[in-house]
């Protein structure tokens, strides 16, 4: 595995790879790698000749009261995990390398960003779109891989690629879960023992919503309220949102007559967890691509 820390070197490498007609798969991460990330890396091997991954904690997607400084980091461990999972080139730039000067042009997400997490995280997806615009350009990726745990990000990235005509196919991969159903996340380490036991109920609440759809419920308000009631009854967390929306447009889906997402966000004492399930109107899971 080759570790790259500068934009100049990455540009040189990807130019050479393209000259040799190698296809490139790209997995962008913020590090502290876990099974969710390695699943994306493994998936890339099915599509592309070369796997490029990035580790960059992007300050643009953190608000002033969010956890940029506290975001978990472990470079030595990340290097070992990336190499073990077949990463050919690992791009690990500094903030100064990615943003050397004040930006002349900014990327602003107009749609799909004012619901779910975006409602309470003003500017978050602008930061995501900005860094991915740079990374897609630098890596020249034929395929880019994202986990459906952050389904709103998948929807926003799909819009970014379509709007700016990137020659990159977005592959959305199902959420990787612990044995008890909790979605794997770097932030799970901040849960207390009691909160960790409670957190499993996020996924269980989504399964309740999914079953309601299978049973023929088409009232989104009814589904939303039953999911909320279950979370309140089984966790000490504070609900940020429970939403039932069309996917990937993230628009209102009342009544349900299309593919939809049931999404939840719950704030525990030191960690905010998100989870979702994406189903069609019969309650069937979609294919894991966008």
- Domains in the chain: ranges and CATH: 2-173 (3.40.50.620), 186-279 (3.30.1300.10)
Q: What pLDDT does residue 185 have?
A: 85
Distance, in Å, from the CA atom of 132 to the CA atom of 117, rounded to the nearest integer, reads 18
Residue 244 has φ and ψ, to the nearest 5°, of: -125, 110
Residue 201 counted as an annotated binding residue: no
Q: Tens of pLDDT along 91-122?
A: 999 999 999 999 898 899 999 999 999 998 88
Residue 35 in marked binding region: yes
Most distant CA atoms of the chain, gap in Å: 58
Sign of the four-CA dihedral 270, 122, 34, 31: negative
The per-residue pLDDT for 283 is 64
> Is residue 289 predicted with pLDDT exceeding 50?
no
Mean pLDDT within 174-201:
93
Task: Give mean pLDDT, residues 30-48.
Answer: 94
pLDDT at 285 over 70: no
Q: How many residues does the chain have?
A: 290
Per-residue pLDDT tens over the stretch 166-181: 999 999 999 989 999 9
Residue 86, marked binder: no
CA distances from 72 to 69, 88, 89, 145, 284 (A): 8, 24, 22, 22, 35
Q: What is the pLDDT of residue 256?
A: 84
Per the annotation, the verdict on 85 as an active-site residue is no
Q: Is 150 annotated as a binding residue?
A: yes
Q: Tell me the average pLDDT of the chain.
A: 93
pLDDT for 186 equals 79
Cα 206 from chain centre: 18
Kindly report, residue by residue over 47-87, the tens digit of the pLDDT. Answer: 999 999 999 999 999 987 777 888 889 999 999 999 999 99
124 is in an annotated binding site: no
Q: What's the rounded mean pLDDT across residues 189-213?
A: 96
**25: annotated binding-site residue?**
no
Query: Are the C-beta atoms of residues 85 and 38 closer than 8 Å to each other?
Result: yes
Would you state the pLDDT for residue 232? 97
The mean pLDDT of 240-253, rounded to a whole number, is 94
Instruction: Considering the candidates 22, 37, 124, 201, report the single residue annotated as catalytic.
Output: 37
């Amino acid at each position: 595995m080759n570790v790259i820390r500068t934009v100049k070197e990455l540009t040189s490498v990807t130019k050479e790879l393209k000259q040799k007609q190698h296809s490139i798969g790209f997995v962008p991460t913020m590090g502290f790698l876990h099974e969710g990330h390695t699943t994306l890396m493994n998936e890339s091997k099915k599509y592309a000749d070369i796997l490029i991954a990035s580790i960059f904690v992007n300050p643009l997607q953190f608000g002033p009261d969010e956890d940029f400084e506290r975001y978990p980091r472990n470079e030595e461990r990340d290097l070992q995990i990336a190499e073990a999972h077949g990463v050919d080139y690992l791009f690990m730039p500094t903030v100064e390398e990615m943003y050397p000067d004040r930006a002349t042009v900014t990327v602003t997400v107009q749609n799909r960003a004012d619901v779910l997490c975006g409602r309470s995280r003003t500017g978050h997806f602008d930061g995501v779109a900005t860094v991915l615009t740079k990374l897609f350009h630098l890596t020249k990726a034929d395929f880019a891989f994202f986990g459906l745990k952050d389904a709103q990000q998948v929807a926003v990235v799909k819009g970014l690629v379509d709007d700016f005509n990137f020659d990159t196919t977005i592959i959305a991969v199902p959420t990787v879960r612990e044995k008890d159903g909790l979605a794997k996340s770097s932030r799970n380490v901040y849960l207390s023992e009691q909160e960790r036991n409670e957190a499993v109920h996020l996924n269980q609440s989504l399964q309740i919503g999914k079953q309601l759809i299978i049973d023929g419920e088409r009232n989104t308000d009814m589904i939303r309220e039953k999911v909320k009631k279950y979370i309140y009854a089984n966790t000490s967390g504070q609900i940020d949102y429970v939403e039932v929306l069309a996917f990937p447009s993230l628009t209102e889906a009342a009544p349900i007559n299309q593919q939809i997402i049931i999404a939840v966000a719950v704030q525990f004492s030191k960690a905010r967890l998100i989870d979702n399930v994406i189903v069609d109107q019969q309650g069937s899971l979609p294919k894991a691509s966008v």
